[in-house]
Structure 1
Amino acid sequence: MSFDLRNILGDFVTIFFPKECACCGCALKYQEKYICIACDFHLPYTNFHTYSDNDTARQLWGKASIEEACSFLLLQKGSRVERLIYQIKYNNQPFLAEYFGYQYGLKLLQSELYVGLSAIVPIPLHASKLRKRGYNQSTYFGRGLSRAMHIPLQEDLLLRKRATMTQTGKDRLARYENVEDIFTCKQISLAQDAHILLVDDVLTTGATIVSGALGLQESLGCKVSVATLARAQ
Structure 2
Amino acid sequence: MKNLLNLFFPMVCEACNDALSDNEVLLCTSCRHHLPVTNFHFNDVETVKKTVYGRVKLENATALLHFTKKGIVQQILHNLKYRGHESIGEFFGKWLGAELATIDAYKNIDVVVPVPLYRSKLRKRGYNQVAKFSQEIAKALNAEYNDSVLIKIKSTKTQVFKARTTRWKDDGALFNISENKSLAGKHILLVDDIITTGATVEACAAVLLKIHNIKLSLATLAIAD
Q: For the superposition of Structure 1 and Structure 2, which TM-score range results when normalised by the shorter chain?
A: over 0.9
1:89/1:192 CA distance change after superposition, 3 Å: closer
What is the CA–CA distance in structure 2 between the aligned matches of 1:52 and 1:213, rounded to whole Å? 22
**1:37-186 maps to which residues of 2 (within 5 A)?**
37-51=29-43, 53-167=45-159, 170-171=162-163, 175-178=167-170, 181-186=173-178
1:185/1:221 CA distance change after superposition, 3 Å: farther
1:42/1:94 CA distance change after superposition, 3 Å: same
Q: TM-score under structure 2 normalisation? A: 0.92
Runs of 4+ in 1 over 6 A off after TM superposition: none
| Deviation of the 1:170 alpha carbon | 4.9
**Alpha-carbon deviations, 1:182-223, whole Å to 9, x = none?**
111122424653100000001010100111112101144411
| Deviation of the 1:33 alpha carbon | 1.3
What is the CA–CA distance in structure 2 between the aligned matches of 1:218 and 1:35, rounded to whole Å? 41
Which has a greater percent of helix?
Answer: 1
1:30/1:180 CA distance change after superposition, 3 Å: farther
Counterpart among 4, 12, 16 of residue 12 in structure 1: 4
1:165/1:220 CA distance change after superposition, 3 Å: farther
Question: Aligned to 2:99, what secondary structure does the other structure show?
Answer: helix
1:102/1:18 CA distance change after superposition, 3 Å: same
Q: Does 1:203 align with 2:195?
A: yes
1:169/1:162 CA distance change after superposition, 3 Å: same
| Deviation of the 1:180 alpha carbon | 5.6
| Deviation of the 1:147 alpha carbon | 2.3
Unmatched tracts of structure 1, length 5 or more: 1-7
Deviates more, 1:94-103 or 1:197-206: 94-103
| Deviation of the 1:51 alpha carbon | 3.9
1:118/1:184 CA distance change after superposition, 3 Å: same
Question: Aligned to 2:206, what secondary structure does the other structure show?
Answer: helix
1:15/1:122 CA distance change after superposition, 3 Å: same
Deviates more, 1:168-177 or 1:42-51: 168-177
Structure label with greater radius of gyration: 1
Question: Aligned to 1:102, what secondary structure does the other structure show?
Answer: helix
What is the CA–CA distance in structure 1 between the aligned matches of 2:183 and 2:63, rounded to whole Å? 27
**Alpha-carbon deviations, 1:32-54, whole Å to 9, x = none?**
11111221111011111124543
Question: Aligned to 2:100, what secondary structure does the other structure show?
Answer: helix
Letter in 2 for 1:152: E
Q: In the alignment, is the contact (CA less than 8 A) between 1:52 and 1:69 conserved in 2?
A: no
Q: In the alignment, is the contact (CA less than 8 A) between 1:179 and 1:211 conserved in 2?
A: no
Paired residue for 1:4?
none
- The number of equivalent residue pairs is 225
Question: Aligned to 1:228, what secondary structure does the other structure show?
Answer: strand
Across the aligned residues of Structure 1 and Structure 2, the Cα RMSD in angstroms comes to 1.9
